Amino acid sequence: MISILMSILAAALGFTIAFLLSRAPELRPFRLSQLIFVPLAMVSAIHLLPSPHGRYVGADLQNFAYYVGVAGFVAVLLAPNIAHYCGLALSNFLDPHDWKPSEEEIDPRPVQRLIDREQHGEALTLLDSLLKNHKATYEALLLKTRLLYHFQNVPDTLDTLLKMLPLSKSTAQRVAVMEGLMAIQNQGPRPTQSTSRERRTVRIQHELLVVPLGAKNVSVHADIPPGVYEVEPVFEGKQCWLQLAGETWGNFEMCWEAVQFSEAPPEAPIGSSNPLLAGIARMHRKIGYALAGSPDFQAQAEARELLKEANDFIRRLQWSQALPLLQKASAADPHCYEVAYRLMEATRRCEDRQNVVRTLRRVLHQSNWSENEQIMLQG
């Protein structure tokens, strides 16, 4: 009776060990065999233990040898699992991850349900809390502007509209932002920024909508791509506009500033909070670069230069000259969305439908684009 109970307990212990050590998705292929063989090995090990009476005989030594063999079999069987968890623990110790929902996009449906029930205050509070912990999207900020304007909070509505510009993915979205700005431009206390009328250079990192100087609506508009522009300040009513040098097209100065290029802050080195771990991380990085080669920063820099040249042709509507440059830039840096978007735009203007479909298929598979980026690339 005791022997049967010990066998059941040993089998249960072996099953539990195998189940816990094979939970990781990477270890699932081993799970079935481990759930079968580990309990059997544990039961065999119980019956092969030496005699507990204190006097060892030849049979006990033989059983002990078998016991060592069974233990070695279990060790080999569970070696991938043990190595996986030890490596994971070491990796988390050297480079601890702080998983936060900051990169997740906001689900606007709970906010929209509150709006449908006319609970606008609760909807705005919920949306603000979501924006603090999640990645802002154009759709979420558009919802916020409507709620803020509902409460006649014009300054915050204006600031939120400007934050939407770098997140816009289409001309229609930029038109919607511009219409909102024109509707409230004279209501807010936002002061005029510029006091100088001198020409200056502005570098923008996102498409910007331009309209005829002093326009009251956006019925006539155009998109200018990212790049460097010579602009001149012109004062229209309470606001300062920046118009393209030598032209009558422009936009509010605050819109230019919203998409103006800014250097990204340098990333903190791995393990920077601990000097010892930082040294180990640097050594590990050097060894990795020596074995696998350094990241291709030169190719990314080349892609940026090619994109800059292509944008010069695009501004002159010379799409056929821009297309080969964009093709080279996409090959050098296949993960740059701006290059991919401009490549698809040029391909649609210069190539036949068959080549457009072939290029689109290749671009969609060359990087892990977000759902919104895929929609924009598909046009």
Greatest Cα pair distance, the chain, in angstroms, is: 106
With 0-12 / 13-18 / 19 or more C-beta atoms within 10 angstroms meaning exposed / middle / buried, residue 273 is: exposed
Q: Give the tens place of pLDDT for each residue, 182-208.
A: 888 766 555 455 556 678 888 898 899
| CA dihedral sign of residues 290, 292, 293, 298 | negative
Q: Give the tens place of pLDDT for each residue, 163-175.
A: 999 988 888 899 9
Give the number of other Cβ atoms within 10 Å of residue 35's Cβ: 15
Backbone angles phi, psi at 351, to 5 degrees: -110, 165
- Residues sharing a CB contact under 8 Å with residue 192, sequence separation 6 or more, in sequence order: 235, 238, 239, 240, 253
State whether residue 248 is helix, strand or coil. coil
Compute, in degrees rounded to 10, the torsion defined by CA atoms 314, 320, 325, 326: 70
Rounded CA separation 327/309 (Å): 12
List the one residue out of 207, 206, 211, 203 whose CA is nearest residue 241.
Answer: 211
Compute, in degrees rounded to 10, the torsion defined by CA atoms 282, 288, 291, 293: -90
Rounded CA separation 101/103 (Å): 5
Task: Give pLDDT, residue 136.
Answer: 84
Q: Which long-range contacts (CB under 8 A, 24 or more apart) does 79-83 make?
A: 80/27, 80/30, 81/21, 81/22, 81/24, 81/27, 81/30, 81/34, 82/21
Rounded CA separation 346/355 (Å): 12
Rounded CA separation 226/220 (Å): 20
Cβ atoms of 10 and 42 within 8 Å: the answer is yes
According to DSSP, residue 105 is labeled B
Residue keyed to tokens 């099953």: 15
Residue keyed to tokens 């409230």: 184
With 0-12 / 13-18 / 19 or more C-beta atoms within 10 angstroms meaning exposed / middle / buried, residue 289 is: exposed
Compute, in degrees rounded to 10, the torsion defined by CA atoms 352, 357, 359, 361: 180
With 0-12 / 13-18 / 19 or more C-beta atoms within 10 angstroms meaning exposed / middle / buried, residue 342 is: buried
Cβ atoms of 68 and 82 within 8 Å: the answer is no
| pLDDT (tens place) for every residue of the chain, 379 residues total | 557 888 888 888 888 988 888 887 777 777 788 888 888 888 888 777 665 554 445 556 777 788 888 888 888 888 888 888 888 888 777 766 554 555 566 777 888 888 888 888 898 898 888 888 888 888 889 899 989 988 888 888 889 999 999 988 888 899 999 988 888 876 655 545 555 667 888 889 889 999 988 788 888 888 888 888 889 888 876 678 888 888 889 888 889 989 987 654 444 444 444 555 556 555 545 555 555 444 456 677 788 889 888 888 888 888 899 999 999 998 888 888 888 888 988 999 898 888 899 999 898 888 877 777 777 788 6
Sort strands 227-236 and 200-204 into parallel, antiparallel or unpaired: antiparallel
